Amino acid sequence: MPTLLLSPNDQMWVNKVIDIFNSHEPVVLPTETVYGLAAPVSSDVAVARIYEIKERPTFNPLIMHVKEEWDLSQWAEIGDVEKKLISLFWPGPLSLLLKKKGVSDLVTAGSKKVVLRAPAHPVFREVLDAWGAPLVAPSANSSTKLSATTAAGVLADLGEKIVAIVDGGTCEWGVESTIVEVVGDKVSILREGAISKEDLEKHGFSLSVSTKTESTPGSQLKHYTPSVPLYFFENEADWASSSSKSSLYLKVLSSDSSLSFEGRNIETLSQSNNYKEAASKLFEFLRTAQAQYTEIRVLKTQDVSLGRAINDRLLRASQR
């Protein structure tokens, strides 16, 4: 069956999504970060389909998406610092790792903790309202591959494996939500994402030095892998050292390098030096580039604000 393409302007689009959930299949929905492959937490069959479609290892848990006004205490223990984070950043791209209460082991892959997030995207929120209960939604891409920030990007990767997709245009942020855990009175960033360290500090949260391991959320080193080699350079001279006509030389901001590349393919994610613009273009840019070049050579940008999440994705895209 070809994938059903829905637009938020179609009549009855929400009803169609709900019908598909009732038939125990996931639906691809836009969020403000990346597209998500959404399914009702209450349907073990639909949740299992997510793992099958993404070819995701079953030990990798799923984020539970909720509305901020719901009674969250039915699913997790929420302390004072978490409440403050929720009141400041929800709805929005901040996910919280919490001690779980009554959430199925299929969602959390057997862990005693659950990640909750209240997305800001109006399409996702309308579906949450209509369904009236939590939805799990990993990024809508094959496991270890690039995330998708347009409907076309999702279709290029998952194609007819998905029953339906709601096209919400290009995602605003382009990198996934930041995942944090509160430890004592400190906030630990487990996955860099759309909400930066600076955003948290600005509101007076003290950050603890995160002790990330490969089992920390979003920390598998091999992730976001393009189909051609991606090399990630900290040093400008190394970045520019080869001179292949079939290579792409990519920088994040225009100001990251002023080297000129006569006769070579050079691209910049944001000419106006805007990290948000760069992040929102990142994944679809790499998806297009992997079809056009034999290798992608990327220069690291500064580890500030969203630049940190961009560097994190690029470092992992370079692992083979």
Where on the chain is the footprint of Mg ion (CB under 5 A)? 139
Q: CA of 282: how far to CAs of 86, 142, 151, in Å?
A: 27, 17, 15
Q: Which is nearer to ligand TXA, 138 or 307 (CB)?
A: 138
Q: Residues 6 or more apart from 234 whose CB is under 8 A from it? A: 300
Single-letter residue type at 275: Y
- Taking residues 126 to 145 in sequence order and writing x for each that binds ligand TXA by CB under 6 A, - otherwise, the string is -----------xxx------
Instruction: Tell me if 193 sits within 8 A of 300, measured CB to CB.
Output: no
| Smallest separation (angstroms) from ligand TXA to the CB of 178 | 8
What is the DSSP track for 90-121?
-SSSEEEEEEBSS--HHHHTT-SEEEEE----
Task: Return the range that interacts with ligand TXA (CB under 6 A); candidates 71-79, 106-114, 276-284, 299-307.
Answer: 106-114
Work out whether 63 is an interface residue with ligand TXA (CB under 6 A): yes
Work out whether 60 is an interface residue with ligand TXA (CB under 6 A): yes
Task: Return the range that interacts with ligand TXA (CB under 6 A); candidates 2-10, 56-64, 84-92, 237-245.
Answer: 56-64
Q: Which is nearer to ligand TXA, 6 or 240 (CB)?
A: 6
| Smallest separation (angstroms) from ligand TXA to the CB of 210 | 13
Which of ligand TXA, Mg ion, none sits in contact with 113, Cβ below 5 to 8 A by type? ligand TXA
Q: Where are the beta strands (DSSP E) in 211-320?
A: 230-233, 247-253, 265-270, 295-299
At 316 the three-state DSSP class reads helix
* C-beta atoms surrounding 44 within 10 Å: 14
d(CA 316, CA 320): 9
d(CA 39, CA 29): 10
Q: Which of 108, 78, 113 is nearest to 97 (CA)?
A: 113
Choosing from 111, 265, 288, 319, the residue that interacts with ligand TXA (CB under 6 A) is 111
| Smallest separation (angstroms) from ligand TXA to the CB of 114 | 5
| Smallest separation (angstroms) from ligand TXA to the CB of 128 | 12
Which of ligand TXA, Mg ion, none sits in contact with 154, Cβ below 5 to 8 A by type? none
Work out whether 34 is an interface residue with ligand TXA (CB under 6 A): yes
d(CA 187, CA 171): 27
Single-letter residue type at 49: R
How many residues are listed for the chain in this entry? 320
Instruction: Tell me if 290 sits within 8 A of 226, measured CB to CB.
Output: yes
| Smallest separation (angstroms) from Mg ion to the CB of 294 | 26
Choosing from 21, 27, 40, 95, the residue that interacts with ligand TXA (CB under 6 A) is 95
Task: Return the range that interacts with ligand TXA (CB under 6 A); candidates 54-62, 66-74, 155-163, 251-259.
Answer: 54-62
Footprint of ligand TXA (CB under 6 A): 31, 33-34, 36, 60-63, 93, 95, 97, 108, 111, 113-115, 117, 119, 137-139, 176-177, 179, 217-218
